Amino acid sequence: MLKVISIFGTRPEAIKMAPLVKKLSKESDILSKVVVTAQHRQMLDQVLELFDISPDYDLDIMQQGQTLTGVTVRVLSGLEEIIQKEKPHMVLVHGDTTTTFSSALAAFYQQAAVGHVEAGLRTFNKYSPYPEEMNRRLTGAITDLHFAPTQTSMDNLLKENIPREKIIVTGNTVIDALLETAAKDYPLETLLPGVDWSKRILLLTAHRRENWGEPLGNIFLAARELVRDFPDTELIFPVHKNPRVSQLANEVLANTERIHLIEPLDYLPFVTLMNRSYLVLTDSGGMQEEAPSLGKPVLVLRETTERPEAVEAGTVKMVGTARDKLYQVGAELLENHLAYREMAHAVNPYGDGKASGRIIDAIKRHFA
């Protein structure tokens, strides 16, 4: 029997791995184990509860003021004993977090095969996004099976001399999770009673390290000006817990009419909020895939993206962090209904909700 260990530590990782973990658990010829590092404790637990996943191991590594070095060391140390004990045929990691790279390295040290879900994303700038770009590139150097979400991702891997037979284009598992969750609904009027839902909702998320400081301030100022100049809008910002984000958000956006600073949401209400939004402004990677699947245009608050397929498809626009440009592009979409419809109706290139099954089929073929 094949033994597979799935490892993740943050909420985005958990969301994208959940449908794969659930499907693995139903395979009669695979023994599936789940390890969480809890790199982000509270937000991770919300997803585990929503998808009814009970980890077999919980490293619980999160510490106040943790550094990248600290996370790396604690993941390596914690996984060593688990991998030695379980002796898996394959360790599955996801995406580009520090947990991802550290877990792949721990598996390599124990000579266990590595499967990389969402492989091949690249910006080709090692400091943007930081540290994610190098996390995924270093993970790729260790990986045995690369589960690429798109043809573009596969092309990136081929340029790095990864053998073609080691790459499988699967679509992205986040679409699997999103479509399952979006079929449900959540009473947002009860959760957010101060919001006027008859207005156009602008959903803002921003937290990336490379945006801390002045770039984040520019984002907040532009968002505030958009809400001021378009009275039929309301902005909702689930504020990240990091003080570098929350303190600045409160300085610039708090106590502003039609702007709502709220606590981070569980995944189900967040998907419902995304589904009811008019426009998404984000520096997140995953939301560049998720929001277009719901027909929501996305303005990407970053200078680079590892998801050029979305730009080429017309589902997202790169606006960076310049205050004037963000305001200009946002205002155009709020004023020009034709431009808005073109983005909203563009075809999302990230999959059909069946990525998890393709990944499991590839694992079975590999070990057959």
CATH 3.40.50.2000 fits 188-344, yes or no: yes
Residue 344 has pLDDT above 80, yes or no: yes
| pTM for the full predicted model | 0.82
Mean pLDDT of 3-27: 95
Q: Single out the residue of 200, 192, 186 nearest to residue 277, CA to CA.
A: 200
What percentage of the chain has pLDDT greater than the value 70? 100
SS3 26: coil
pLDDT digits 0-9 by tens, 85-97: 999 999 999 999 9
The C-alpha atoms of residue 233 and residue 345 are separated, in whole angstroms, by 21
AA identity, residue 201? I
Provide the pLDDT for residue 351. 87
**Which ranges of 61-97 does DSSP label H, i.e. alpha helix?**
68-86
pLDDT digits 0-9 by tens, 28-52: 999 999 999 987 777 788 889 989 9
Sign of CA dihedral 154, 157, 161, 163: negative
Q: Single out the residue of 323, 311, 275 nearest to residue 295, CA to CA.
A: 275
Contact present, 283 and 218 (Cβ < 8 Å) = no
Residues annotated as catalytic (active site), given as ranges:
96, 118, 132, 207, 209, 240
Q: Which of 79-83, 160-164, 206-210 has the lowest mean pLDDT?
A: 206-210
Kindly indicate the confidence band of residue 149, based on its pLDDT and cuts at 50, 70 and 90.
very high
Residue 277 has pLDDT above 90, yes or no: yes
- Which uninterrupted H or E stretch holds 325? helix 323-335
* CA 83 centroid distance within chain: 26
Q: Give the Å distances, CA to CA, from 167 to 14, 122, 245, 256.
A: 22, 15, 37, 49
Which of 3.60.15.10, 3.40.50.2000, 2.60.40.3500, 3.40.980.10 is the CATH number of 2-172+351-367? 3.40.50.2000
Bridge partner list, 279: 202
Q: How many helices (H) and strands (E) does the chain have?
A: 16, 13
pLDDT digits 0-9 by tens, 226-261: 999 999 999 999 999 889 999 999 999 999 999 999
Contact present, 118 and 93 (Cβ < 8 Å) = no
CA angle 17, 20, 26 (to 5 degrees): 140
Identify the residue whose tokens are 């930081």: 130
Largest separation between any pair of C-alpha atoms in the chain: 62
Q: Between the CA atoms of 238, 243, 244 and 250, what dihedral angle is there, to the nearest 10 degrees?
A: 60
Residue 9 DSSP label: -
Identify the residue whose tokens are 């808005």: 340
Sign of CA dihedral 32, 36, 37, 40: positive
Please enumerate, as own/partner, the contacts of 333-338 that have beta carbons within 8 Å and a separation of 24 or more: 333/279, 333/297, 333/299, 334/200, 334/226, 334/230, 334/233, 334/279
For residue 142, the number of C-alpha atoms closer than 13 Å in the C-beta half-sphere is 28
CA angle 193, 194, 195 (to 5 degrees): 95
Residue 209 has pLDDT above 90, yes or no: no
Determine whether 163 is exposed, middle or buried from the number of CB atoms within 10 Å of its CB (0-12, 13-18, 19+): exposed
Domain positions in the chain: 2-172+351-367, 188-344
pLDDT digits 0-9 by tens, 300-312: 999 888 889 999 9
